[in-house]
Structure 1
């Protein structure tokens, strides 16, 4: 018999706030976290806006000396993980540390460190490159540092599946608990990609919006969408085996019941026609959760605001749900957060479980001109109350990675 798995803690650093409470409050209000690109010289790029984290201080979570040995993506992960474990009221000690694991992914890792250290190498030679260069840069170091700071000695891993990273990480951690290899997992995604080369690369392949207006640039499912808005941050959840959570009186946000992961085997950046791979991921997640398609009331879509993604994701939803596709609600919180790449699935899992917990549908903002090919209920007129029995969270990444998580309202 499969062990049941529940969400007992959440932590986040996002363009909408440096904790879950602020971020979620802004999601419900339809506030945008997109603003002018300030981290870089915007005159050098066709993309003029970004979803930057604001007023974040790692010193609140880590000693400044130690923080200098970490890239920004690790800063975000450590902060969000500490918040999630505190929210879960999970005490990690010698008695349980071997049964508490960490599975945190990053799509790009320490790009900022790589760029700055390469400049140092070019200008001053190898002797001046930081001895911490490699451990600051590698994507698994967020998971490594979180395990060190928490004292979690169980399964420790890092998924790298581009924009599906956060969702794959949570799904993989869910399976670790389900099969009995851990009692609790600290899991999600983290990213700090607002760097010279990251932005240059995404501009070069025309993935980013060139709309200079922060108020309308991120517009998933809108006919005038022209690319995604690069964002940054981290979303981390604490997953626990149900009896373990109940035994310590934990607050339960929702139950994780299903996970689907597929590959397009089609193209390095473009989704497969019709969203075929995404459709299979959703089907697998629904079936894995013992659910029927008509049980799903809400989908937190990948919804990047790119021409192909939004069209094909819509087609995939219709393929999986048939007529029920027009009865369920779909929204893209990326309309407010921008696209956090490897961290997107982490924060979107949090928004999905909070939607279930509070019986509220998050909105899709900036959807002003309907696209005839995107004709579902995208919650475009603001958040609205809705009893949500079960929900999906989708993430689709470069390389043809597709991942879907299925959550449902917790019932004993």
Structure 2
């Protein structure tokens, strides 16, 4: 009998709300968490708006030693993982630690800690030769992205496979998919999977300023700066955060009476082998990822009830994936609701895919489609049902979440509502 993977716990550290319930409250009410940057002085930058997490690590339960040791991204991941494990109701201490795995995604690793420490070591960039003795004791850990996964593994006592997945902006989707694969192949019975990024720093802002990818619309109305699929959009809004989920083998979850959010029924990833930041307008590679994900899920386009779009808020991306939906789903693309939660929580790079998977799991639970906030002047070239401004109650059995990343990465994941494949709700 084939092994299947289900989500039984969800944890989130997100802009606008710390914790799963606060995160869903923000999304379902269509509130935005974008604002002027407060984490550093952004006055000299082209884009000065971001979606920040109001995060106090001590209030979130981290010890002073953990706060000192961990980069901000690691802190997010550990807090989200703790919530996910608690939500799942599972006693990890009663599980063979060799059958507990961890799969964490991140695009930029410990960016915040590295930049802070470089500023200290170089005396604000004035010294080319730095004095390493001024660095914090755990500076080496900031330079190794796998530290993020290792911290989560330490918290959960995971002695099975532990991996850091870094595929740019699809890292979150790909990390969850890797966790699902570990379950399906029998390498692990439980996987703590998700992603984290805390990229809000001067170096990240400078990089995206240089390629003019982020919005310059920052002074007049930062709360409405993220406008996916809107004709007035002029770039995406950087964000930060983490979502982590407990993924279990379905039969074991059923036997212990776990509450299931969703089953991950299909996944695929493709590359466009085209350009580091560019996208082909026909959306062929994303369409192929969607097609293969549906095939693996044994579903037809008519079975998809909601699409959680990448929806970054750049003209190139929004038109690319609109074409991909039409190419892969045909007429169904015009009938199924589509929305982008980046309109509310910005684009947290590697973390966003996991935040979107969590949003899909919660949408299935509540049977509510989150809206695309700030969408009031539709782009004529984006002519699908993008659920503007207000959430919508909607019957959903299967949802599709897609991601697109620098380097040409295209990923698609299909989640199913509990009970649609023989699983108890």
TM-score > 0.5 by shorter chain: yes
CA distance in 1, matches of 2:197, 2:305: 29
CA distance in 2, matches of 1:89, 1:29: 28
Aligned to 1:36: 36
Aligned to 2:68: 68
Aligned to 1:98: 98
- State the secondary structure of the residue aligned to 1:379: coil
1:2-22 superposed Cα distances (whole Å, 9 cap, x missing partner): 311111000000002000101
Aligned to 2:195: 189
Out of 184, 201, 212, the position equivalent to 1:206 is 212
The RMSD of aligned alpha carbons is 1.2
CA distance in 1, matches of 2:406, 2:55: 30
Contact (CA 8 Å) 2:107, 2:197: kept in 1 or not? Answer: yes
Contact (CA 8 Å) 1:106, 1:140: kept in 2 or not? Answer: no
1:210-246 superposed Cα distances (whole Å, 9 cap, x missing partner): 1112232101000111111000010111111111101
What is the Cα deviation at residue 116 of structure 1? Answer: 2.0
What is the Cα deviation at residue 111 of structure 1? Answer: 1.0
Ranges in structure 1 where 5+ consecutive residues have no aligned partner: none
What is the Cα deviation at residue 381 of structure 1? Answer: 4.2
Aligned to 2:126: none
Aligned in 2, Cα 1:146/1:268: closer, same or farther, shift over 3 Å? same
CA distance in 2, matches of 1:275, 1:95: 44
Aligned to 1:256: 264
- State the secondary structure of the residue aligned to 2:379: coil
Out of 324, 332, 335, the position equivalent to 1:327 is 335
Ranges in structure 2 where 5+ consecutive residues have no aligned partner: 124-129
* TM-score of the two chains, using structure 2 as the length reference: 0.95
Q: Which moved more, 1:8-17 or 1:213-222?
A: 213-222
Aligned to 2:49: 49
CA distance in 1, matches of 2:398, 2:266: 10
Aligned to 1:107: 107
Contact (CA 8 Å) 1:105, 1:140: kept in 2 or not? Answer: no
What is the Cα deviation at residue 125 of structure 1? Answer: 1.1
- State the secondary structure of the residue aligned to 2:104: strand
Tell whether 2:389 aligns with 1:369. no
- State the secondary structure of the residue aligned to 2:92: coil
Aligned to 2:179: 173
Contact (CA 8 Å) 2:32, 2:224: kept in 1 or not? Answer: no
CA distance in 2, matches of 1:75, 1:271: 33
CA distance in 1, matches of 2:94, 2:365: 32
Aligned to 1:128: 134
- Equivalent residues, number: 412
CA distance in 2, matches of 1:81, 1:55: 15
- State the secondary structure of the residue aligned to 1:234: strand
- State the secondary structure of the residue aligned to 1:101: strand
The 5-angstrom pairing of residues 231-270 of structure 1 reads: 231-270=239-278
CA distance in 2, matches of 1:6, 1:188: 14
Tell whether 2:144 aligns with 1:138. yes
Q: Which runs of 4+ in 1 moved over 4 A?
A: none
Aligned in 2, Cα 1:63/1:243: closer, same or farther, shift over 3 Å? same
The 5-angstrom pairing of residues 275-290 of structure 1 reads: 275-290=283-298
Aligned to 2:127: none
* TM-score of the two chains, using structure 1 as the length reference: 0.98
Contact (CA 8 Å) 2:7, 2:246: kept in 1 or not? Answer: yes
What is the Cα deviation at residue 55 of structure 1? Answer: 4.0
Aligned to 2:17: 17
- State the secondary structure of the residue aligned to 2:38: coil
Aligned to 1:355: 363
